[in-house]
Amino acid sequence: MSSKRPSKRAFASGSLAPQRTVGGETGAEAASLTAEQKLDIWQWLQKNRMVEERLGLLYRTGKVVGGLYTSLGQEGISVGTAYALEPQDWVGPLIRNLGVMLVRGVRPREAFTQYCARATSPTGGRDGNTHFGNPEKRIVAPISHLGAVIPVMAGIALAAKKRGENAVCVTWIGDGGTSTGDFHEGLNLAAVLDLPLVLVVENNGYAYSTPTRMQTRPEDLVAKADGYGLPAEIVDGNDVLAVYDAMRRATTRVRDGGGPVMLEMKTFRMKGHAEHDDAKYVPPELFEEWRRRDPLVLYDRVLEEEGILTRAERDRRVAELKAEIDADAEFAVASPTPDPRFAFGRVYADDGGPGPLPGPAWGPAGATRLGRGLPGGDRHDVRDPRGGNA
Amino acid sequence: MAAGTTYIEAIREAMAEEMRRDDSVLVIGEDVGTYGGAFRATAGFLEEFGPERVIDTPISESGIVGMSVGAAMNGLRPIAEMQFIDFLSNAFNQVVNMAAKLRYRQNIGVPIVVRGPCGGGVHGGPYHSQNVESHYLSTPGLKIVEPATARDAKGLMKAAIRDPDPVLFFEHKFLYRRIKEDLPDEDWVVPIGKAATAREGEDLTVVTFGACVHHALEAADRLDHEGLSVEVIDLRTLLPLDREALHATAKKTSKVIVYHEATRTGGIGAEISAILAEECFEWLDGPVLRVTAPDTPVPYAPPLEAAFLPGPEDLIDAARYLAGY
Ligand SMILES: Cc1ncc(C[n+]2csc(CCOP(=O)(O)OP(=O)(O)O)c2C)c(N)n1
Ligand SMILES: [Mg+2]
């Protein structure tokens, strides 16, 4: 165990006083950002929103398969946290963290092809939406079951520590997700094993229709960090610079062997749970209130005041982004749907890989099996060397 | 007579009628109150029954099922909703080790219903499409049902709520709003443990349940034109299996195909096939065939999902093959 682990225990069974800061001097990291970096952050914010807006268009024109989940109003969290990371760090983003993936180098076309279930998508159509990872970019894909990524990221952190990667592992979770068993087990494991993990909690007021107060009794979710003896900090999630600043301080502490920390981002989900949800259960004045705190608008104001971004430069950059995003969306729409044979194989390392279509398993053992053809009815004999598996 | 009742409405009506009849019945789950459930299975419940009987919970499936078990031990009859049945995996321990074993260990009844949408065909991908019955089939103490019609959905839900033991109630989401039936007004119950004959036939039997019943009926229609008379047995209850119905149809047609949407290995088809081999060997004229999904997760893209799901075509192939015996 690291000697830097904060120890406030007076007695063996003594209490651990809550630490409501992850350390460092508040604001110092943000203050040391160059104009270039600030423009970078602006660019990622715009890109995050524009890609999701484009996804909305694809959804409304029937190109998206299944539901669409966006991060409207929460982009500052994805972008600010991811921008604070180093290349060797690992991320485990959730469905509202497309911005994290973009900052880590995922191209818009990967999201478009995933949501449209095309053959060219990162999973080849086997899974959808943001459910894709990238080992080279150190991105771990989520599953739908909320909380499940947290212990997995603790495991990545365990390995990173053992292998001396000097890596910080980061994952994100909603206010609702903090009610799952995996959240608690994962956080506790990371705490007692002193693992290099940052847990970013996005408290956006709702989990589907359930308001945060019906999810967790304390108003602040950092209370859960207190319970496991983790330093934690409450951050204005709609202020991208505050997010970046807190994340830099958090990762510095974790990288120095300080053990896991939690950041609670206060924010708001500016849409329904997904595109199909009209969010009638949200009082309209809440949307009104938070619309005034749109992270992109707030940040535009900062850059304007600091004279970093002129109107002309802004327009030029937006046009550039739009061209890239349009091209990628068109690429997705023009991409073929997957070959049905890709449904089969690569369930195991040694099963021969995707395809061919397996034949029905009936018939005498060892006989040539009559296979069903591709949908459309063409039939052909398939000898299944793997022993048949309809 | 309730005209044109959908499968999901039938489930909602059954729960509402039971809650009116019995004050100890309550619903517990994520977004079941204010929102009325992700699929609207409990729409209007909060208004009618109030927050003490319509309980919105945090995202805590294990807690939801465990709490239901406790409430049942203390006189209530909870209906726990899983937003998708895929999330029941998070409550696995409470289902198989707590709910299922209390009767055997201490003769304590756990009258809970754990219900939720299962099944594919709606492009839900690996985590919103699964059929999970085989995860629970080998747990004595549980009952498992999965209706194929609105009538059975309503009657089985009432039976499940009134049952003294834990019932897993799987609802095939493909059917939620795709089928509609005129339902009688009176109170009726479909007994747990009894299969139904969805179609009479002479030459061959398809044993199935859930959405597959409808695909089987379609296949049977088409095979009829080829001169093959196909009987379709709708299991309705998966645990305990209706052995008598299996025996009777095996005796009648001597050829049986088991057809299910879940993956093949260790699926309920294997169990039924074993029952037929052990108990009906004398009457069979051919091998018991299984038409199932392949042993892979459920893929997301429509062409992959179509290749994965066992449909009428697959069943017709199998029927033609078996008819040759
Ligand atoms: C274990 C589990 N139970 C239920 C669900 C269904 N579900 C998906 S998202 C969601 C709400 C999530 O709320 P929150 O964690 O606050 O994240 P947000 O949507 O606000 O970003 C629910 C209940 C799930 N994905 N996983
Ligand atoms: Mg939330």
Where in the sequence is the domain holding A171, given as residue range(s)? 8-334
* A173 contact B CB<8A: no
Q: Which residues 201-230 on chain A approach chain B with CB closer than 8 angstroms? A: 207-210, 214-216
Q: Calculate mean pLDDT across residues A271-278.
A: 95
Give CA–CA dist A293/A282, Å, rounded: 17
Residue B255 has pLDDT above 80, yes or no: yes
Q: Which residues does ligand 1 sit against, CB inside 6 Å? A: A 96, 144-146, 174-177, 180, 202, 204, 206-208, 269, 273; B 30, 59, 61, 83, 87, 90
Tell me whether strands B230-234 and B204-208 are parallel, antiparallel or unpaired.
parallel
pLDDT per residue as tens digits for the range B53-80: 999 999 999 999 999 999 999 999 999 9
CB distance A180–B126 less than 8 Å? no
CB distance B294–A343 less than 8 Å? yes
Q: Calculate mean pLDDT across residues A26-33.
A: 98
B2-183: CATH topology: Rossmann fold (3.40.50)
Do residue A317 and residue A348 come from a single domain?
Answer: no
The structure tokens listed for B98 are 């707590």
Residue A357 has pLDDT above 90, yes or no: no
Nearest in space to A327 (alpha carbons), one of A96, A50, A40: A50
Pick the CATH number of B196-323 from 3.40.50.920, 3.30.420.40, 3.40.50.2300, 1.20.120.80: 3.40.50.920
Residues of chain B with CATH 3.40.50.920: 196-323
Which residues are paired to B116 by β-bridges?
A: B170
Contact between residue B254 and residue B283 where contact means Cβ atoms under 8 Å apart: yes
Question: Does a structural domain hold residue A2?
Answer: no
Listed residues: CB within 5 A of ion ligand 2: A 174-175, 204, 207
Question: Does a structural domain hold residue A353?
Answer: yes
pLDDT band at A353 (very low <50, low <70, confident <90, very high): confident
pLDDT per residue as tens digits for the range B114-136: 999 999 999 999 999 999 999 99
Q: Calculate mean pLDDT across residues B36-46.
A: 98
* A344 contact B CB<8A: yes
Do residue A348 and residue A329 come from a single domain?
Answer: no
Q: What is the pLDDT of residue A17?
A: 79
Do residue A350 and residue A231 come from a single domain?
Answer: no
Q: What is the pLDDT of residue A142?
A: 98
- The minimal CB distance from B30 to the residues A182, A210, A389 is found for A210
| Cis geometry, peptide bond prior to residue A151 (ω within 30 degrees of 0) | no
Q: Which residue of B has its CA nearest to A278?
A: B35
Q: Going by C-beta distance under 8 Å and a sequence separation of 6 or more, which residues neighbour residue A216?
A: A175, A178, A179, A223, A224, B58
Kindly state the percentage of chain B with pLDDT values over 90: 99
Give CA–CA dist B293/B279, Å, rounded: 26
pLDDT per residue as tens digits for the range A195-226: 999 999 999 999 999 999 999 999 999 999 99
Q: Closest-lying ligand to the alpha carbon of A272?
A: 1
Please give the full DSSP string across A183-222, using - where no structure is assigned: HHHHHHHHHHTT--EEEEEEE-SEETTEEGGGT-SSSSTH
Do residue A299 and residue A357 come from a single domain?
Answer: no
Do residue A254 and residue A367 come from a single domain?
Answer: no
Count of domains observed in chain A: 2
Write out chain A residues lying below 8 Å of B307, CB-based: 340-341, 343-344, 357, 374-375
Do residue A345 and residue A329 come from a single domain?
Answer: no
Do residue A77 and residue A199 come from a single domain?
Answer: yes
CB distance A210–B317 less than 8 Å? no
User: In chain A, where do the E strands start and end?
Assistant: 90-92, 169-174, 197-203, 206-207, 210-211, 232-236, 261-266, 369-371, 380-382
Do residue A70 and residue A214 come from a single domain?
Answer: yes
Question: Does a structural domain hold residue A86?
Answer: yes
Half-sphere exposure of A338 toward its Cβ, with a 13 Å CA cutoff? 32
Tell me which amino acid residue A233 is.
E
Residue A368 has pLDDT above 80, yes or no: no
Q: Which residue of A has its CA nearest to B126?
A: A127
Distance of CA B215 to the CA centre of its chain: 15
Tell me whether strands B25-29 and B77-81 are parallel, antiparallel or unpaired.
parallel
Tell me whether strands B167-172 and B143-145 are parallel, antiparallel or unpaired.
parallel
Write out chain A residues lying below 8 Å of B125, CB-based: 66, 127-128, 131
Nearest in space to A368 (alpha carbons), one of A380, A381, A352, A386: A381
pLDDT band at A383 (very low <50, low <70, confident <90, very high): very low
Question: Does a structural domain hold residue A142?
Answer: yes
- The minimal CB distance from B58 to the residues A131, A215, A340 is found for A215
Q: Which residues 270-289 on chain B approach chain A with CB closer than 8 angstroms? A: 287, 289
Atom of ligand 1 minimally distant from the CA of A207: 13
Q: What is the pLDDT of residue A278?
A: 95
Write out chain A residues lying below 8 Å of B62, CB-based: 181
Whole-structure pTM value: 0.94
Write out chain B residues lying below 8 Å of A362, CB-based: 287, 289-290, 318, 321-322
Write out chain A residues lying below 8 Å of B299, CB-based: 125-127, 342-343
Do residue A197 and residue A95 come from a single domain?
Answer: yes
Residue A370 has pLDDT above 50, yes or no: no
Q: Calculate mean pLDDT across residues B146-175.
A: 98
Residue A39 has pLDDT above 60, yes or no: yes
- The minimal CB distance from B35 to the residues A117, A215, A281 is found for A281
Give CA–CA dist A243/B265, Å, rounded: 49
Question: Does a structural domain hold residue A385?
Answer: no
Q: Which residues 198-237 on chain B approach chain A with CB closer than 8 angstroms? A: none
Q: Which residues 14-43 on chain B approach chain A with CB closer than 8 angstroms? A: 30-31, 34-35, 38
The three-point CA angle A291-A297-A299 to 5° equals 130
| Cα dihedral value B166, B170, B171, B172, nearest 10 | -170
Q: How many of the other CB atoms lie within 10 Å of CB of A206?
A: 22
Contact between residue A112 and residue A331 where contact means Cβ atoms under 8 Å apart: yes
Do residue A142 and residue A13 come from a single domain?
Answer: yes
Give CA–CA dist B300/B126, Å, rounded: 7
From A95, A184, A201, A208, the mutation candidate for ligand 1 (largest count of ligand atoms within 8 A of CB) is A208
Q: How far is the CA of A384 from the centre of ligand 1 (A)?
A: 41
Nearest in space to B90 (alpha carbons), one of A158, A182, A235: A182
Q: What is the ipTM of this complex?
A: 0.95
Please give the full DSSP string across B53-86, using - where no structure is assigned: TEEE--S-HHHHHHHHHHHHHTT-EEEEEPSSGG
pLDDT band at A108 (very low <50, low <70, confident <90, very high): very high
The structure tokens listed for B282 are 């004398």
CB distance B299–A126 less than 8 Å? yes
Atom of ligand 1 minimally distant from the CA of B90: 1
CATH number, domain containing residue A143: 3.40.50.970
Residues of chain B with CATH 3.40.50.970: 2-183
Tell me which amino acid residue A160 is.
A
Do residue A300 and residue A365 come from a single domain?
Answer: no
Residue A365 has pLDDT above 80, yes or no: no
Q: What is the pLDDT of residue B205?
A: 98
pLDDT band at A354 (very low <50, low <70, confident <90, very high): confident
Kindly state the percentage of chain B with pLDDT values over 70: 99
The phi and psi torsions of A87 (rounded to 5 degrees) equal -60, -30
Residue A172 has pLDDT above 60, yes or no: yes
**Mind telling me the catalytic residues of B?**
128
Give CA–CA dist B82/B130, Å, rounded: 13
**Average pLDDT along chain A:** 90
pLDDT per residue as tens digits for the range A291-329: 999 999 999 999 999 999 998 999 999 999 999 999 999
The structure tokens listed for B209 are 């349940």
Q: What is the pLDDT of residue A112?
A: 98
Mutate to test the interface with B, among A59, A65, A146, A213 (most CBs of B within 10 A): A65
Residue ID of nearest Cα to ligand 1 atom 11: A207
Half-sphere exposure of B266 toward its Cβ, with a 13 Å CA cutoff? 10
Q: Calculate mean pLDDT across residues B124-151.
A: 98
